[in-house]
Structure 1
Amino acid sequence: MQKLLVSTALFFSCFANATGGTVMDQQSKIVFSFKNVSHETAQGELNQCQGIAMGTHSQVASTSGSGVRGAAKGAAAGAAAGAISGGSGSDGAKIGAAVGLIGGRLAKRGEAAQSVQANEDMYATVLRNCMIDKHYVPYN
């Protein structure tokens, strides 16, 4: 009976110290497999790589243009077009400015969507490369 208890305790202690598994980045949904380290170590290294990727991500985001500038440029162009096209004085300029403002905002939204996607792609690339450098294997 005592041998059985010792064998069972030894089995469970080995099982509890087993290493290997997966960790997942919630933002990019990339899953990384690991061996020979604990889950806590893998999660810590994932956190480090997330910090690096976030730093790159925020640098790229801060260099993107301002939505206000795009709308203002659209409004100015629309006002000029309205005034030049023979609109009645300031009313033509006002209507042109309104149309230009809307056009500028719509164009800026398209650019913003592309910028967001580019930032997400950059984050995922930096994260993946960082984890690969630490000998983790990405599943996706």
Structure 2
Amino acid sequence: MTAVNGSKLIWQLIRISIGFCAAVLTAGLFLAWGYFRAGDPSMDPVGFAAMTGSGLVTASVLGGLAGAPVFCAILAAELLSVRSVIFHAGGAGLIAFGLWSLGASAEYGLRPGTTVVLAAGFMAGLVYWIIAGRSSGCWRQTPGPVA
């Protein structure tokens, strides 16, 4: 039988929220950087501002699109106490690839930009793991042996 530590659960929910926000921001900014390739802000401030602005907008869109599958993966990780970086980074990459492949035709192969999307997913999963994934399931307590 497993007991629940309420204070650890609250802190884990806070880490999950912050981790999700940081992960989608990472993915959005990584995608914008990967597609815009704006240079140094002192050399091209308009391009850098456009890249940053579009990255923030992309992050909000990604949060809405990836929310359901991401929270299913988070729920699975929390209930099963999966703390593996491979699970979190690989799962985020798989979700990113799945969203990128929606509506794509199989007859032409992979869409251009697939590697950038996969890298953004992996980076998002790594950021989430650093913030919340390393402590997945920490709120679950197994009672010690009865003396």
Q: TM-score range by the shorter chain?
A: 0.3 to 0.5
Q: Which has the larger share of strand?
A: 1
Higher RCO (CA < 8 A, seq sep 6+): 2
